[in-house]
Amino acid sequence: MGLYFPFADYWWFYVGFSFFVVVLLLVDLGIFHRHTEKVSFKDSLVWSIIWISMALIFNWLFYQYALDRFASNPRLLAIPGFDPAGAAKQVGLEFLTGFVVEKTLAIDNIFIFAVVFSYFAIPAHLQRKILFFGILGALIFRALFIGLGSFIMGIHWVGIFFGVLLILTGIKMFFAPEKPIEPEKNPVIRVIKKLIPVTPSMEGGKFFIRKNGVLFATPLFVALIFLELTDIVFAIDSVPAIFALTKEPLIVFTSNIFAILGLRSLYFLMAGSLERFHLIKYGLAMILIFVGAKMAYLNELFGGKFPISWSMGIIGAILGTTIILSLVVTPKPHKV
């Protein structure tokens, strides 16, 4: 039957949505948080609610648009057994499930934020700036990955390959012991330090400075590059995970972007209590295994599409259970 929202017909939406997202980020940083030295818990909570509410409002509007479009499209109505209301509900649930999955997988990013900020000694008032540019870069890379994925994920063996990759990644995450993150061992960071000298301390929030005619990078820039690199690694898992839930690149793009938009507020909201969610990695691992199984096997088993309502229920149950257990079960003390 093809895609409901082919790029050739909806290129204008991608452009308009991207422009809308950039405006939101600029308004967030340039107006509401322009003079904020430190993001408070209350401020983070309010903005987290705002970002999630915007995603849910978009979800509702998207459902209404799909319902209207499907009910008035002669090509779709000519398909025997086509149900406009059912199809609109399907794409609406696909967006919501994709948003939840990406938001859940993004928790890994939040743990990375905390480690990197601690390692590079990024002060609280500069964390907001680096997260802004980090998330802006993440949006660009995700758009590129999704564009590439829309071409290759339709190939049957590619879908199976990424499904197996997600399963293996989930198994590794579940059983592998946690290892400390060591940015200084990252090959790209090593190359940067060889190409350009790095100042030993922050320089008033600048990424680059000149001293005696020599250009220096600051630790703020190195930390930003490291965050971008880790997000690219995460995108290799998260983008195929959403393609396991929907074949519509437009849904993958919008759900992915909305999930990333609230990352900055979510980080400041959770920054002081990350250790409480010590079991969340097991939930993330099980979600990766599940969506990998969908991509590699379950979709075919169910005639090409595993029920999206079942997916939403399974993912929600896994996430809710691991969060509750994290709050109830006392974490084991770290061995010294």
Question: Can you tell me the mean pLDDT for 237-251?
Answer: 85
Share of the chain above pLDDT 90, in %: 15
Look at the block and give the residue holding tokens 């929202």.
5
| Residue 304, burial from CB neighbour count under 10 angstroms (0-12, 13-18, 19+) | exposed
Query: What pLDDT, on the 0 to 100 scale, is given for residue 129?
Result: 79
What is the rounded average pLDDT of the residues 24-52? Answer: 71
Q: Which position has the higher pLDDT, 91 or 238?
A: 91
Question: What's the mean pLDDT in 10-29?
Answer: 84
| Confidence at residue 181, expressed as pLDDT on a 0 to 100 scale | 63
pTM of the model: 0.81
Check pLDDT > 60 for residue 34: no
* pLDDT of amino acid 336: 42
Q: Which helix (H) or strand (E) holds 313?
A: helix 308-328
Rounded Cα distance between 48 and 302, Å, is: 36
> Would you say 228 and 96 are in contact if contact means Cβ atoms under 8 Å apart?
no
Confidence of residue 37 (pLDDT cuts 50, 70, 90): low
What three-state secondary structure class fits 182?
coil
Residue 24 CB neighbours (<10 A): 14
Q: Is the pLDDT reported for residue 127 higher than 50?
A: yes
Higher pLDDT, 299 or 313: 313
pLDDT of res. 162: 81
Name the residue with tokens 């949505």: 17
- 3-state class of 115 per DSSP? helix
For the segment 88-112, the average pLDDT, to the nearest whole number, is 86
pLDDT greater at residue 124 or residue 194: 194
Confidence of residue 96 (pLDDT cuts 50, 70, 90): very high
Q: Nearest Cα to 126, choosing from 49, 193, 219, 60?
A: 219
∠ CA 59-60-65 to the nearest 5 degrees? 95
Mean pLDDT of the chain: 81
- Model confidence at 255, in pLDDT bands (50, 70, 90)? very high
**Burial class, 164, CB count within 10 angstroms (exposed 0-12 / middle 13-18 / buried 19+):** middle
- Among 9-18, 37-46, 84-93, which is the least confidently predicted range? 37-46
pLDDT for 92 equals 95
What tokens appear for 275 in the block? 């250790």
Residues linked to residue 198 through DSSP beta bridges, in sequence order: 217
The answer to whether the CB of 226 falls within 8 A of the CB of 234 is: no
The number of residues in the chain equals: 336
How far apart CA 167 and CA 157 sit, in angstroms, is 15
CB atoms within 10 A of CB 89: 16
Both tokens assigned to 6: 């082919």
Give Cα 279 distance to the centre of its chain: 20
Q: Which two tokens stand for residue 256?
A: 């992915």
pLDDT at 275 over 60: yes
Distance, first Cα to last Cα, the chain = 59
- pLDDT confidence of 63, banded at 50, 70, 90? very high
More confident call, 47 vs 40 = 47
pLDDT of residue 331: 66
d(CA 94, CA 102): 12
Look at 56-65, 154-163, 181-190, 280-289 and tell me which has the smallest mean pLDDT.
Answer: 181-190
Q: How far apart are CA 88 and CA 56, in angstroms?
A: 15
Indicate if the pLDDT at residue 296 is higher than 50: yes
Q: In the chain, pLDDT over 70 holds for what percent of residues?
A: 88
The mean pLDDT of 92-110, rounded to a whole number, is 85
